Structure 1
């Protein structure tokens, strides 16, 4: 069933109003008629099955048929810190990472990042990334849209490690500490509480040894993702999937 995210103030008692692109999609693309149903969420605390009352290109008025439980989100919050990759790879990471279950995306610039930041384009780029996350969250029937942060520098990123319960830096030269084992250590130590895990993925050229040491000094643990070298966008998605599998979100052991 089609799902939409709306601002919390769009909920008014048992009425919900959709406007803008969502209203156009529901009324013109899906050609919704009075009585047709869809799911609407505020991405915070309210989600409902609603029925269309009146529809136009700019505005669709609906009425709540049934309030729904918000149970689709992982108990583990995974923050994907992705060094800005070339081309549209960041869009792929956000789209697929949202579908899998990431809670937050933090683009950053490291020493070997090739992409050059252009402040004039940042707002437009963020808008596009957030739209991609919204659409992916709707498609995956998530209860919330992941946060998409503005790009930060390497030093600023490392400060975020203190806010997470565990921080892992994917490092191709790490052959002793594998992600799976360390995830189990974190989760086994927090059996009754959700964990916030920061997963840091480098650019196409990987991290320098100096960056790996700086990350360790900031409280991160360098980890490997197996014997094969993964592309940057692949590493982010594999790491995310490993964490959610081990937490039981994908049928893994708990």
Structure 2
């Protein structure tokens, strides 16, 4: 069943009417060719979701009535932010798409010292719009109850400032894997509490420099390895999110 994210809380939508407008209206009417009495999921900003039945289609919106509420929780018990040093090509798009499917709450891109790509403000804005769209489509496809946010930063300093707002900060560092470090990820996942936030920092293709790692450690981060193998920049976040899901969802 098709899924759409509504930019209102459930209470506001109740008051104003359950409706789709804009791009979602176009998708429902012109792409999916939905008709009166068809059903779909509507997801609200407070992570509540319902099954709605179309009762009217006008030239501007699709109007629904509530049939039932979605009862199953689809979200990870902790809020996970993936911070990626800007990689080459479309790798960040892959991270956002698959990371959304795996449960990430937020994606942050930043210019690491070894990042090859250089995006000006115009390119960052265009890239950001595309990544938001990718996250939305992936959240709909994977039946999320939350649409992840995307932030593209212009400096590493901005990320260091953001790190202060998280309960836990991990630094995925390939040198830790080479040295045989095995415990920090397990330790963090054993103490994290439901509702807490985790920021995980990943380097681009060239990895993080020792100086960058030192800066993140000063900001409260802890170095961790993701198993004994060296993972690509676009693969490492998927390992991390899968490990979190296994530890906090499948073992409970």
The root-mean-square deviation of aligned C-alpha atoms, in Å, is 1.9
Distance 1:209 1:225 in 2: 18
Cα offset for 1:58? 3.9
> In the alignment, which residue of structure 2 is the partner of 1:71?
73
> In the alignment, which residue of structure 1 is the partner of 2:240?
239
Question: Deviation per CA, 1:102-139, whole angstroms, max 9, x where unpaired?
Answer: 01111111111111021122222211111111111011
Cα offset for 1:183? 3.5
Cα offset for 1:39? 0.6
> In the alignment, which residue of structure 1 is the partner of 2:207?
206
Cα offset for 1:79? 0.7
Q: Is the 8 A contact 1:49 1:67 kept in 2?
A: yes
Distance 1:146 1:243 in 2: 17
Pick which of 120-129 and 99-108 moved more. 120-129
Distance 1:236 1:36 in 2: 37
Question: Deviation per CA, 1:125-176, whole angstroms, max 9, x where unpaired?
Answer: 2111111111110111111101111324222212222221211111111124
2:42 pairs, out of 40, 43, 52, with 40
Moved over 6 A (4+): none
> In the alignment, which residue of structure 1 is the partner of 2:181?
177
| Secondary structure at 2:171 match in 1 | strand
Instruction: Tell me, yes or no, if structure 1 residue 4 matches structure 2 residue 4.
Output: yes
Cα offset for 1:83? 0.6
Distance 1:141 1:244 in 2: 16
Q: Is the 8 A contact 1:23 1:56 kept in 2?
A: no
Cα offset for 1:234? 0.6
Cα offset for 1:235? 1.0
Question: Deviation per CA, 1:165-192, whole angstroms, max 9, x where unpaired?
Answer: 21111111112433xx32332343345x
Q: Is the 8 A contact 2:185 2:224 kept in 1?
A: no
> In the alignment, which residue of structure 1 is the partner of 2:188?
186
Listed as ranges, the matches of 1:1-254 within 5 Å are 1-8=1-8, 11-13=13-15, 15-56=17-58, 58-69=60-71, 71-174=73-176, 175-178=179-182, 181-190=183-192, 193-248=194-249, 251=250, 253-254=251-252
Q: What TM-score, normalized by structure 1, do the two folds share?
A: 0.90
- Cα distance 1:111–1:76, how it changes in 2: closer, same or farther (>3 A)? same
Cα offset for 1:57? 5.8
Distance 2:192 2:219 in 1: 22
Q: Is the 8 A contact 1:183 1:243 kept in 2?
A: no
Q: Is the 8 A contact 1:14 1:64 kept in 2?
A: no
